[in-house]
Structure 1
Amino acid sequence: MAVPYDGGATWRERPVRDGRVSVRNPAAGRGVALRARVADRDGTTATVTVRDAYRGR
């Protein structure tokens, strides 16, 4: 899991523990993006990026 706090210029890896990840909430009116890279046992991989996954209040 990766999260940018600068509009997507720099992605920071965040650890996933017990199926959960902790991210800092964005400032009011700003959005946060999320990127996940996954792989199965056969080595098949996928990357999913969600821009503006949610906005700060």
Structure 2
Amino acid sequence: MSLPAELRPCPRCRKAAAPAYAPFCSAACRNRDLLDWLEERHVIPGPPVENGEAQGH
């Protein structure tokens, strides 16, 4: 069974999550996670995308 969101640890550093930055503990962890997504270090699995398909062409 999964813990409620307010009791889950920060997904980056595992410290207690702060309500202002949930699910993260701080702005620093939130921003590092965003940067990882923007630099494509995190991806969501799925079928390959053809050229131009991601932009809606």
TM range (shorter): under 0.3
Scaled by the length of structure 1, what TM-score is found? 0.20
CA radius of gyration, larger in: 2
Structure with the higher fraction of residues in strand conformation: 1
